[in-house]
């Protein structure tokens, strides 16, 4: 019934549009076209682009008769990776009314760019401006592309005004690299320093280390490239930089030119659109992210590594079939992207078959790798830790600790993770040793402070010291729900129930689905003689998905007898 209702509404909308009012009747429109068009829209809206294309194609009669048809059709084509067909459809079927969207003129501009017809490309780009409206990112795309067209045609630098922040500087760096400017090395160094200061998406911005290394290799400065990669630790690198470091370590520098050259206009502009796609993905606009990823891939199909973001976007949207299809692009030849494939397959198995099956899968794949990097060992250790295979995780963390510098934050991080595993196994002596050693290396790590302090509180051990540590952690991360819960529980244990209630109330607000936080809050309310409210939160614990059996038993006892015998 709902489908029929929507079809009826669609017919009414079409009937009342200028194309079909008065002078045109519904009898002039084949109802099959309307039905297929509607089905195409429905498929498009639920990200089923394959079926959307099928229905749009069978209703192409409407392409010049209904203004929004062309935009949805073009989007579906590009989202399916059929960029050249999208360009052809625009050229054959666009009218003044149905091509009134930014992307139509953009893809035509890029088509001309690929053909090195920069004058024609600029004409298309100029037409796109009227459809930008208030879309700032579209404006950035148009302005940046216009500058690149000037560089490619005139073979000299464009006058770049820094009105788009780091985006403008990235543009300047790649223009300089394309032109062979003597300042390119300095620009790359400055770019890396700027992006290292960015707290969000740091791994994605660190990709410019790869392009800097690529530039040095292209300029035959192999020693400088090696010095850079030698200074980098795998544990802190993005996929792309890890793969570049691996190539240099294996003396396979020829691999760089197979993927990217800043002397190639298509490669440079392709990187622009990858950056755009990454920004849209960070804003959770996955449709536009995938649209621009396919544009980037059409410009530089050599750079298959960029498809990792496409696989990630599909995974986030639970389109596991498409994610797995994209992952087939990453074979064993490229160790880190092959490992990315294995990790993503592991995540999909976890969603579909459970954590036990996924852990067995990644452990089997790991055993097949000869001399795995510490980055890969670290990932497998974490998977085992999260699936409560603590002995396996400890063994893997031991291997990492034997391979890395003892005075680094990475060493402290591994000690922390191993200490957590020991604590979960009840080996408190080993756990305390690791967590305290971690704090010797990195004394202000709020998560380690919180974990060790909470572990002591659970054991009624060093309560005053625990509270002091938690206050330090809270001063650093006052909005972290786990730290708020811990400090609230510390006040509970020293019987300062009023203070405890203030903290635990905030923790429940931040993590309403966490059973431990709800349990703690119920205990505090009971001590404050608010027994009805306490029972409410305890009962809530019984209904939460994450509540374990032992906790359910304890809660059931509390509901009967209060805190007296719990």
Residue 244 confidence class, pLDDT cut points 50, 70, 90: very high
Residue 147 dihedral angles phi and psi, to the nearest 5°: -65, -40
What is the per-residue pLDDT for 349?
97
Whether the per-residue pLDDT at 22 is higher than 60: the answer is: no
The model's pLDDT over 330-354, given as tens digits with 9 standing for 90+, comes to 988 999 999 999 999 999 999 999 9
124/121 Cα distance (integer angstroms): 5
200/208 Cα distance (integer angstroms): 15
156/292 Cα distance (integer angstroms): 27
The model carries a pTM of 0.83
Cα distance from N-terminal residue to C-terminal residue, the chain = 55
What is the per-residue pLDDT for 11?
44
Beta carbons of 213 and 225 less than 8 angstroms apart: yes
The model's pLDDT over 299-324, given as tens digits with 9 standing for 90+, comes to 999 999 999 999 999 999 999 999 99
Whether the per-residue pLDDT at 98 is higher than 70: the answer is: no
Of 469 and 27, the structure prediction assigns the larger pLDDT to: 469
136/142 Cα distance (integer angstroms): 10
What is the per-residue pLDDT for 160?
77
Of 452 and 13, the structure prediction assigns the larger pLDDT to: 452
Instruction: Report the Cα 502 to chain-centroid distance in Å.
Output: 35
5/35 Cα distance (integer angstroms): 12
The model's pLDDT over 37-50, given as tens digits with 9 standing for 90+, comes to 546 555 556 566 66
Closest Cα partner for 321 from 351, 292, 293?
A: 351
Whether the per-residue pLDDT at 474 is higher than 90: the answer is: yes
How many degrees, rounded to 5, is the angle at CA 174 between CA 169 and CA 180?
125
What integer best gives the mean pLDDT of the chain?
Answer: 87
Closest Cα partner for 502 from 515, 489, 519, 516?
A: 489
**Residue 351: how many other CB atoms lie within 10 Å:** 13
The mean pLDDT of 29-56, rounded to a whole number, is 55
Closest Cα partner for 554 from 513, 522, 509, 531?
A: 522
Whether the per-residue pLDDT at 265 is higher than 90: the answer is: yes
Q: What are the structure tokens assigned to 382, written together?
A: 């974490």
């Amino acid at each position: 019934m709902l489908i029929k209702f929507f079809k009826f509404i669609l017919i009414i909308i079409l009937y009342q549009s200028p194309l079909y009012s008065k002078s045109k009747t519904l009898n002039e429109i084949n109802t099959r076209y309307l039905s297929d068009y509607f089905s195409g829209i429905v498929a498009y809206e639920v990200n089923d682009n394959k079926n959307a294309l099928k229905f749009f194609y069978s209703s192409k009669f409407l392409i010049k008769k209904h203004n929004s048809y062309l935009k949805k059709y073009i989007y579906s084509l590009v989202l399916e990776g059929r960029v050249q067909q999208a360009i052809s459809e625009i050229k054959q079927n666009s009218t003044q009314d149905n091509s009134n969207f930014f992307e139509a003129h953009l893809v035509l501009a890029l088509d001309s760019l690929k053909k090195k017809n920069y004058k024609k490309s600029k004409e298309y780009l100029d037409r796109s401006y009227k459809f930008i409206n208030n879309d700032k990112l579209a404006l950035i795309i148009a302005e940046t592309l216009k500058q690149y067209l000037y560089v490619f045609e005139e073979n000299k630098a464009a006058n770049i005004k820094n009105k788009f922040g780091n985006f403008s500087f990235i543009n300047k760096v790649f223009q300089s690299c394309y032109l062979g400017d003597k300042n390119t090395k300095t620009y790359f160094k400055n770019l890396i320093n700027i992006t290292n200061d960015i707290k969000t998406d740091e791994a994605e911005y660190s990709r410019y280390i790869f392009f800097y290394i690529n530039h040095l290799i292209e300029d035959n400065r192999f020693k400088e490239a090696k010095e850079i990669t030698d200074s980098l630790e795998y544990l802190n690198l993005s996929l792309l930089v890890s793969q570049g470091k691996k190539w240099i370590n294996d003396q396979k520098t020829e691999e760089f030119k197979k993927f990217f050259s800043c002397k190639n206009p298509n490669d440079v502009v392709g990187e622009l659109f990858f950056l755009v796609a990454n920004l849209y993905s960070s804003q959770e606009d996955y449709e536009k992210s995938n649209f621009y990823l396919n544009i980037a891939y059409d410009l530089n199909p050599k750079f298959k590594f960029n498809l990792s973001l496409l696989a990630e976007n599909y995974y986030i949207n639970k389109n596991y079939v498409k994610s797995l299809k994209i992952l087939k692009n990453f074979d064993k030849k490229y160790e880190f992207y092959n490992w990315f494939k294995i990790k993503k397959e592991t995540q999909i198995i976890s969603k579909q078959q459970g954590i036990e099956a996924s852990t067995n899968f990644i452990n089997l794949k790991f055993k097949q790798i000869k001399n795995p990097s510490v980055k890969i060992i670290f990932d497998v250790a974490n998977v085992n830790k999260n699936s409560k295979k603590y002995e396996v995780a400890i063994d893997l963390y031991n291997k990492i600790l034997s391979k890395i510098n003892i005075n680094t934050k990475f060493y402290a991080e591994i000690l922390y993770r191993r200490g957590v595993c020991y604590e979960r196994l009840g080996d408190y002596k080993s756990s305390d040793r690791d967590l305290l050693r971690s704090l010797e290396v990195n004394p202000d790590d709020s998560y380690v402070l919180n974990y060790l302090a909470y572990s002591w509180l659970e054991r009624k051990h060093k309560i005053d010291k625990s509270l002091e540590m938690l206050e330090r952690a809270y001063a650093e991360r006052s909005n972290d729900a786990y730290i708020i819960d811990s400090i609230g529980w510390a006040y509970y244990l020293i019987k300062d129930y009023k203070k405890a209630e203030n903290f635990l109330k905030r923790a429940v607000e931040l993590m309403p689905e966490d059973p431990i936080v709800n349990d703690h809050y119920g205990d505090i309310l009971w001590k404050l003689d608010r027994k009805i409210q306490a029972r409410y939160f305890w009962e809530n614990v019984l209904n939460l998905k994450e509540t374990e059996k032992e906790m359910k038993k304890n809660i059931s006892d509390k509901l009967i007898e209060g805190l007296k015998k719990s």
